[in-house]
Each structure stands twice: as structure tokens, then as C-alpha cells.
Structure 1
Amino acid sequence: MFPKGQRHKIGVLLYLLIWFVSCFWLFGLVYSGVLQSWGGIKLEPVKDYVFYAIAGAIGGTLYAMRLLHEYYDDPMTERWLMWYLLRPIKCGGAAVIMIILFQSGILLLQTNDSMGAKIGIAFLVGFGYGKVLDKLRSLTETLFNGNGKYGCSGTPKEKDDSAR
């Protein structure tokens, strides 16, 4: 019925739609108290972080669906297939970690301390996952390597002659 590449794209679209709808459904179940445990883990103590993970996954899924639509005519490689499959999971995890970094004071952000504001930030982290990782990479470079003069082993970096 559909060519092989087309089937992969339709499969990815269905996968992303299931993630998208399921995240809203899961949000409602946890918020209403219907779902109180998951795999033997009580959700009440970590309820806020579940909301952040869900919001991050929604943001990542929405971004992935937008890209799937934008690049629909391009071939679906194995690399992109993995990108689409892992995107909601990575974005949910990154959203939780970013909220923890903001709450701990390691990263500063002037915003309301309400649950809605944190969920909004988690969504934005999921949606802008690539940019968030770029910022985290530069932050860790600044924090742990000082001025960037030394490599990971503590030995001086070789000079880059390409800047001449």
C-alpha cells in the first residue's frame, strides 16, 4: 500500500501522536488523583516532577511532529528514526533536570515560582531541547574548565592555528 519510507513516516507520526495524547491523558490521571502509583512507586511525593516530565515530553513531541511535517518529503534515515523515537523521552528527562537546576539556584531565571510557571518552563525545555543542551554544554565548560585554556585531562590544549 505505502512505500517502505512512507510506512516509517506514518509509523513515526502515529508514535508521536500516541505520545502527545497519552501525555495529556496521563497528566489528567495524575492531577485528578486517579493514578496514585506507577510500577509500585507512589506518585504523590514526586507528583510535581511527573508534571514537569510530562510537560517536557509534550514540548519535545510537538517539536518532533513539526519537524516531521516540515521535512516530510526528505528520506527517513535510521539516524532520524532514532531521533524521533527518543525525542519525547529525552525531553521529559531534560525538563525535570532543568527545573531541579533552577530550584537549586545553579541556574537563575526570573519567573514566578508557581506550578504553572514551572510546567511552562518544562514545556519550553522540551520544545527547545537542542538549544538547552547547547547552553548546558557551554555552562559546564565555563564551570569545570575555567576559561577553556585546559582540556579534559587538565593538560593545556593545543593552539588552533585556523584562527590566523
Structure 2
Amino acid sequence: MKVKDEHEGIDIAIIVVIVIYNLSLLLFTLFWLFTNAFVDAKSSLSDLTNFSINENITYGLFLSGVLGGAFYCLRAVYQRLGEAYTPIDLEDGKIKPNKTFNARVWFFWFLYRPIQGGVLALILLTLVNSSLITLETISEESFKSYYTLIALGFLAGFGSHELIHKIQEVIQVLFAKSNVKPSDTKQKIKNNKGEN
């Protein structure tokens, strides 16, 4: 089966859906985070008094992660389309694009990446607050700033791949296999009890 060099109608439709979806997420999160739009919705979310969690921070951090993920996705779309439609080979004055952006294969990634960014932003805050990851460049005072948290959330969403690698490093350190053999453990217990 021969792979077509040009994007078909379904490919273009998928690309349009990806762009509209990510632009919608981008615009919604910007309005939510940096304007007084949705004031009623914001206040109803923070009326939960049974929890000691600041929901405004939680939602803001999640949405800033979504913002970073959506921004990354839109950047990837224009980069791939730029690669596909850069007029290198012209035949008869017509651009012959190569299909370097397979929208069908990457469709669900483009839908999932912003949500992943939001979740990772919350996980990053949890890891920092539990001191499993330290951010030496951010003072404790500036860490209390809403804009610092929004910046961290955006970076978590934009750099999801790198953050996942950092989380894997934390897991490897926390849950590393012990070099002690079971027979060594029995001997150490005997030594601690004064037995030989």
C-alpha cells in the first residue's frame, strides 16, 4: 500500500479539530486565570468549606497546566505543518507537501496532552510541598505568589515530558531495590540482638 504524500480531507478536518480544541482550552484558561470572567463559577467552586484545600489555587494550577499543554500542542501543530508545507520541491509551480504530520496517529495525543499538563501541574505542587522535589531558585515567599504557581503550572504543562522523567527519577530514588540480601538481613538481626 502506497502512502500518500498529501493530506486528505479527513487529515485536514482532524487538524482543524485539534487546533480549535487547543485554542479553546487556551482561551478558556487565560480568561479563567487572568480576568474576572466566570466570577460566579469561581466563587461557587470555592464554597466548599469541608476541605482545607484552597480550591482557587488547585483550579488555577490545573488550568495553568492545561494552558501550558495546549500551548505546546499548538506549537507542535504549526511546526509539523510548517515542515509539511515548506515549498522545497515545486513541480509545475504547485507545492507538493510531504505528510510529516500524520494527524490521524497523533489525534488523541493532542486531546490528551493539555489534560496531562493540568494533572502534572497538581502533582508537581504536591511533590514540591512534600519536599520530594526541591526548587532552589524559588524562595518560600515567592512560592506563595499566585503568579509563581501559575508559572509552575504552565511549565509543568509545557514540559510534561521532562517532568515525567523527573518523577521517574524520584520513584527510582524512593523505591530503589535494596542491595542487602535476605541472608545478610538475618545476620544483622542476630548481631543487633547480641547473638552470634
Give the TM-score range, shorter chain: 0.7 to 0.9
| Separation (CA, whole Å) in 1 of partners of 2:111 and 2:47 | 25
- For residues 87-106 of structure 1, the aligned pairs below 5 Å read 87-106=113-132
Contact conserved, 1:5 with 1:75, CA < 8 A, in 2? no
* Greater Cα shift, 96-105 or 41-50: 41-50
| Letter in structure 2 aligned against 1:124 | L
| Letter in structure 2 aligned against 1:106 | L
Q: Which residue of 1 aligns with 2:28?
A: 22
- Over the matched positions of the two proteins, sequence identity in percent amounts to 20
- For residues 14-163 of structure 1, the aligned pairs below 5 Å read 14-28=20-34, 33-35=39-41, 36-37=43-44, 42=48, 45-72=54-81, 73=84, 74-110=100-136, 111=138, 112-113=142-143, 114-146=145-177
| Separation (CA, whole Å) in 1 of partners of 2:105 and 2:38 | 38
Deviation, structure 1 residue 116: 1.5
Contact conserved, 1:30 with 1:47, CA < 8 A, in 2? no
- Larger Rg: 1 or 2? 2
C-alpha deviations, 1:34-92, integer Å up to 9, x for none? 32235x97498411111101111101110110001111232425441110000111100
Contact conserved, 1:5 with 1:76, CA < 8 A, in 2? yes
Q: Which residue of 1 aligns with 2:95?
A: none
Q: TM-score normalized by structure 1?
A: 0.78
* Greater Cα shift, 130-139 or 104-113: 104-113
| Separation (CA, whole Å) in 2 of partners of 1:22 and 1:30 | 12
| Separation (CA, whole Å) in 2 of partners of 1:82 and 1:75 | 14
Q: Which residue of 2 aligns with 1:158?
A: none
Q: TM-score normalized by structure 2?
A: 0.66
| Structure 2: stretches of 5+ with no match in the other structure | 1-7, 85-99, 181-196
* Greater Cα shift, 67-76 or 89-98: 67-76
| Separation (CA, whole Å) in 2 of partners of 1:124 and 1:30 | 23
1:48–1:58 CA distance, 2 compared to 1 (3 A)? same
| Structure 1: stretches of 5+ with no match in the other structure | 151-164
Match of 2:40, SS? coil
Match of 2:110, SS? helix
| Letter in structure 2 aligned against 1:20 | L
| Separation (CA, whole Å) in 1 of partners of 2:36 and 2:63 | 10
